[in-house]
């Protein structure tokens, strides 16, 4: 039983065919009067480390939700917040959390509209956070995951794998230099929602998704929703210099690239566009000062394949993160 | 540090004075394009018993949120859902939960728009649920908690205390007949959101709130928000025959009435209206087939007092439920 199965089989029938719910195939819904709505949970020990500073946790909560709005080209308006604190949480902890919210509200210009605050019965129950975000859709309308056509190019913004390496470094599972550790950990703690780039490609892209479960897993989601096969050239996957150093130190570099593309928490935009739009994509990237890389293509078929420089398929260590596996 | 303090001092500044957020003084916010938004969390062991059947838990989750919409006279449109399941949750459990959602979606005519599903790292972490609801406001506009004037009457719908007695009976803290236990437990598991009555009084009421933390605590919330004092005549508090039997068996009946008014989970509507509206309130109640009782008045001053039949103040055992106390 995978998370996708549960959503498709158990929850999707509950949309009662409301058009804006899109059968729960997307991270965001569209309310009739003109709001894009998205909801992401964050749970201590699952989405963040229990000892992560609470201002950073707050900012990540906002940013992972903003990333969903960015993928739909939407402009943030505000959010409602749910917090379940472990028993015995001190006022100072909540203040630090609110400080983080305030800092990113200033950056991304939006307001808190309401919410609910609860305390767990025990001290060991994990801090659990929920945010529901509202944004206004782009004039061109919302791009879904399902709009790609055979022959479309596949693109991704920024670099891939830094957040996953940052988490591994924080957990001391990998060894990196102190400078690289700081830079990678910062990518894990503070993803950068691609709001202006998302708005810039809203009219060009045929399908969009943000990379939260890993590049390959999310490419599969986009391909599945569009009824197509996604082919990704490993060599084209954009990575930081810190990630390049880590890859170079691995025995099998293709396998390392596959691992990089299977980490989650990138919060970059993955999207498709027809080859006729290549120049427009470049212009959109420059206008919003965002790096973008063309990493593959979509074709008839299903699933996702990752290819090395001899067009051989690379085995993927695990297909993203699935809560139910 | 009370929950109210945390909201007022730490979170209210984050509204950035967005008008629809009303400084977080209300359970519901108003989005500019015309949606009433509300969010309520439910956590196993806090808001429901860990062994409660999951279809009932699902229906209660919907109903406590619908009750917030009812208090604002709003009509439900849909919701987004967040679920954090304990590790090892079976598919059947999630299906039972979804069955409950489906049942009440049919009753209250609304759709699921999206959400997020996560699994805890451990089997002992509590099932944690979050729902954000959207409704359309009444033509007369949304009534806030803060609109009451000195001299206004105070009313409450339905009966008070049954849900609290139901919980006590389920936990075997009190002894009641099997018939009463079934009826009281059902009020605990399945509150009845007063949607049609809430819509009917939208143009008449000066301030509205739903009773979730206990009648006295929520009367205090309404009085505080309106800058007034609330006076409640204990004898006028509406109670069921099962509650009457329980009261009659208590040593101090006034104290028992105070206890009844301090339980939570009633999800009745508490509201104020000027004496000139008494007839209109009765008409609205009849039209929506809802019982309503006039239980007190609002006056200059602050706080809330509960009076016996000799106008003596009754000591209140605890002022509602506060997660932070």
Q: What is the mean pLDDT of residues B205-225?
A: 96
Question: Considering the domain boundaries, does residue B229 fall inside one?
Answer: yes
User: Are the CB atoms for A6 and B90 separated by under 8 Å?
Assistant: no
pLDDT digits (tens, 9 = 90+) for B64-102: 999 999 999 999 999 999 999 999 999 999 999 999 999
The two structure tokens encoding residue A276:
């006729």
Say what angle helices A241-248 and A178-189 make with each other, to 10 degrees.
120
CB contact under 8 Å between A118 and B1, yes or no, is no
Look at residue A5 in the predicted model and tell me its pLDDT: 87
The two structure tokens encoding residue A293:
């890389």
pLDDT digits (tens, 9 = 90+) for B258-315: 999 999 899 999 999 999 999 999 999 999 999 999 999 999 999 999 999 999 999 8
Question: Considering the domain boundaries, does residue B175 fall inside one?
Answer: yes
User: Are the CB atoms for B269 and B210 separated by under 8 Å?
Assistant: yes
pLDDT digits (tens, 9 = 90+) for A234-261: 999 999 999 999 999 999 999 999 999 9
Question: A-chain residues within 8 Å CB-CB of B128?
Answer: 84, 128
Final residue belonging to a domain, choices A105, A136, A167: A136
User: Are the CB atoms for A39 and A83 separated by under 8 Å?
Assistant: no
Look at residue A1 in the predicted model and tell me its pLDDT: 72
Q: The sheet that has A229-233: what strands, in order across it?
A: A207-210, A269-273, A153-157, A292-299, A229-233, A304-307
Q: What is the mean pLDDT of residues A181-209?
A: 96
Lowest mean pLDDT among A95-109, A218-232, A309-323, B138-152: A309-323
Same domain, A218 and A98: no
Per the prediction, chain A carries an average pLDDT of: 94
Same domain, A38 and A106: yes
- The three-state secondary structure class of A220 is helix
Look at residue B320 in the predicted model and tell me its pLDDT: 53
Q: Choose the mutation target among B3, B114, B136, B325 for the interface with A, i.e. most A CBs under 10 Å.
A: B114
Same domain, B132 and B157: no
Question: A-chain residues within 8 Å CB-CB of B94?
Answer: 6, 10
Question: B-chain residues within 8 Å CB-CB of A103?
Answer: none
User: Are the CB atoms for B308 and B236 separated by under 8 Å?
Assistant: no
In the structure, what pLDDT confidence band is assigned to residue B316 with cuts at 50, 70 and 90? confident
> How many helices (H) does chain B have, and how many strands (E)?
10, 11
CB contact under 8 Å between A82 and B26, yes or no, is no
Q: Choose the mutation target among A114, A124, A128 for the interface with B, i.e. most B CBs under 10 Å.
A: A114
Look at residue A17 in the predicted model and tell me its pLDDT: 86
Question: Considering the domain boundaries, does residue A142 fall inside one?
Answer: no
- Other beta carbons within 10 angstroms of residue B291's beta carbon come to 13
Question: Considering the domain boundaries, does residue B315 fall inside one?
Answer: no
CATH number of the domain within which B206 lies: 3.90.650.10
Same domain, B281 and B231: yes
Same domain, A176 and A261: yes
Look at residue A307 in the predicted model and tell me its pLDDT: 97
Of B6, B15, B111, the CB nearest to A94: B6
pLDDT digits (tens, 9 = 90+) for B138-154: 999 999 999 999 999 99
Q: Residue A162: which region, alpha, beta or left (left: phi > 0; alpha: psi -120 to 50)? A: alpha
Same domain, A15 and A62: yes
Question: Considering the domain boundaries, does residue A148 fall inside one?
Answer: no
pLDDT digits (tens, 9 = 90+) for B54-64: 999 999 999 99
Question: Considering the domain boundaries, does residue A249 fall inside one?
Answer: yes
CB burial of residue A71 (10 Å; 0-12, 13-18, 19+): buried
The two structure tokens encoding residue B313:
């103040």
CA atoms in the 13 A half-sphere facing the CB of B13: 12
Same domain, A43 and A80: yes
In the structure, what pLDDT confidence band is assigned to residue B45 with cuts at 50, 70 and 90? very high
Q: What is the mean pLDDT of residues A122-130?
A: 95
Nearest Cα neighbor of B231 from B182, B163, B302, B321 is: B302
Look at residue B323 in the predicted model and tell me its pLDDT: 57
In the structure, what pLDDT confidence band is assigned to residue A318 with cuts at 50, 70 and 90? low
Residue A31 has pLDDT above 90, yes or no: yes
Look at residue A122 in the predicted model and tell me its pLDDT: 92
In the structure, what pLDDT confidence band is assigned to residue B322 with cuts at 50, 70 and 90? low
What gap in Å lies between CA B82 and CA B117, rounded to an integer? 6
Per the prediction, chain B carries an average pLDDT of: 94
- The three-state secondary structure class of A222 is helix
Same domain, A160 and A106: no
Q: How close B75 gets to chain A, by Cα (Å)? A: 14
Q: How close A126 gets to chain B, by Cα (Å)? A: 7
Look at residue B17 in the predicted model and tell me its pLDDT: 87
Q: Residue A285: which region, alpha, beta or left (left: phi > 0; alpha: psi -120 to 50)? A: alpha
Same domain, A12 and A130: yes
Look at residue A120 in the predicted model and tell me its pLDDT: 92
CATH number of the domain within which A74 lies: 3.30.1330.10
What gap in Å lies between CA A289 and CA B119, rounded to an integer? 37
Residue A322 has pLDDT above 80, yes or no: no
Q: What is the mean pLDDT of residues A207-233?
A: 96
CB contact under 8 Å between B117 and A3, yes or no, is yes
Of A38, A98, A116, the CB nearest to B114: A38
- Other beta carbons within 10 angstroms of residue A63's beta carbon come to 20
Residue A16 has pLDDT above 80, yes or no: yes
Of B10, B47, B82, the CB nearest to A41: B82
Helix or strand holding residue A43 (H, E): strand A35-43
Q: The sheet that has B207-210: what strands, in order across it?
A: B207-210, B269-273, B153-157, B292-300, B228-233, B304-307
Q: How far apart are the first and last CA of chain B?
A: 7
Q: Which residues are registered as beta bridge partners of A111?
A: A78
Final residue belonging to a domain, choices B80, B109, B136: B136
Final residue belonging to a domain, choices B111, B136, B161: B136
Measured CA distances, A18 to A30, A132, A253, B134 (Å): 10, 19, 46, 13
Q: Which residue has the tokens 């236990």?
A: B181
Percent with pLDDT over 90 in chain B:
90
Question: Considering the domain boundaries, does residue B47 fall inside one?
Answer: yes
- Other beta carbons within 10 angstroms of residue B86's beta carbon come to 18
- One DSSP character per residue, B37-76 reads EEEEEEEBTTTB-TTS-HHHHHHHHHHHHHHHHHHTT-EE
List Cβ neighbours of B87 (8 Å cut-off, separation of 6 or more).
Answer: B119, B120, B121, B122, B123, B125
Nearest Cα neighbor of B293 from B166, B158, B108 is: B158
Same domain, A199 and A302: yes
What gap in Å lies between CA B166 and CA B187, rounded to an integer? 7
Angle at A127 between CA B89 and CA A186, to 5 degrees: 110
Question: B-chain residues within 8 Å CB-CB of A7?
Answer: 117
Nearest Cα neighbor of A243 from A225, A210, A268 is: A268
Using only the alpha carbons of chain A, give its radius of gyration.
19
Domain count, chain B: 2
Same domain, A160 and A296: yes
A and B: number of Cβ contacts within 8 A: 208
In the structure, what pLDDT confidence band is assigned to residue A27 with cuts at 50, 70 and 90? confident
pLDDT digits (tens, 9 = 90+) for B112-125: 999 999 999 999 99
CA atoms in the 13 A half-sphere facing the CB of B248: 8
Question: Considering the domain boundaries, does residue A143 fall inside one?
Answer: no
Q: Which domain holds residue B292?
A: 153-307
Say what angle helices B162-170 and B253-260 make with each other, to 10 degrees.
90
What gap in Å lies between CA B26 and CA B13, rounded to an integer? 15
Same domain, A258 and A292: yes
Measured CA distances, A22 to A201, A267, B169, B325 (Å): 21, 22, 43, 42
What gap in Å lies between CA B270 and CA B164, rounded to an integer? 17
In the structure, what pLDDT confidence band is assigned to residue B246 with cuts at 50, 70 and 90? very high
Residue A111 has pLDDT above 80, yes or no: yes
What gap in Å lies between CA B246 and CA B253, rounded to an integer? 9
């Amino acid at each position: 039983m995978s998370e996708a199965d549960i959503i498709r089989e158990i929850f999707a029938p509950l949309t009662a065919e409301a058009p804006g719910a899109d059968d729960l195939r997307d991270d965001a819904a569209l309310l009739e009067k003109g709001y894009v709505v998205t909801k992401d949970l964050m749970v201590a020990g699952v989405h963040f480390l229990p000892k992560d500073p609470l201002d950073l946790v707050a900012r990540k909560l906002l940013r992972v939700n903003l990333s969903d709005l960015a993928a739909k080209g939407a402009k943030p308006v505000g959010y409602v917040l749910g917090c379940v604190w472990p028993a015995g949480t001190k006022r100072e902890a909540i203040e630090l959390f609110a400080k983080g919210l305030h800092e990113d509200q200033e950056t991304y210009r939006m307001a808190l509209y309401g919410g609910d605050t609860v305390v767990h019965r025990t001290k060991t129950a994990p801090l659990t956070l929920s945010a529901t975000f509202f944004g206004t859709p782009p004039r061109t309308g919302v791009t879904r995951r399902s709009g790609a056509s055979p022959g479309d190019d596949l693109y991704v913004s920024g670099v891939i794998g830094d957040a996953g390496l940052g988490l591994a470094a924080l957990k001391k599972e990998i060894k990196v230099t102190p400078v690289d550790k700081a830079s990678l950990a910062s990518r894990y703690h503070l993803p950068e929602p691609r709001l202006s780039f998302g708005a810039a490609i809203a009219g060009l892209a045929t399908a969009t998704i943000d990379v939260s479960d890993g590049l390959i897993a999310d490419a599969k989601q986009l391909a599945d929703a569009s009824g197509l096969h996604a082919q990704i050239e490993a060599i084209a996957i954009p990575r930081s210099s810190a990630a390049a150093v880590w890859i170079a130190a691995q025995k099998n570099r293709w396998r390392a690239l596959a691992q990089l593309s299977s980490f989650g928490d990138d919060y970059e935009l993955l999207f498709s566009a027809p080859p006729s739009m290549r120049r427009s994509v470049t212009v959109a990237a420059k206008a919003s000062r965002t790096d973008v890389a063309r990493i593959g293509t979509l074709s008839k078929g299903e699933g996702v394949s990752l290819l090395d420089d001899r067009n051989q398929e690379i085995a993927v260590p695990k297909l993203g993160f699935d809560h139910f596996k």
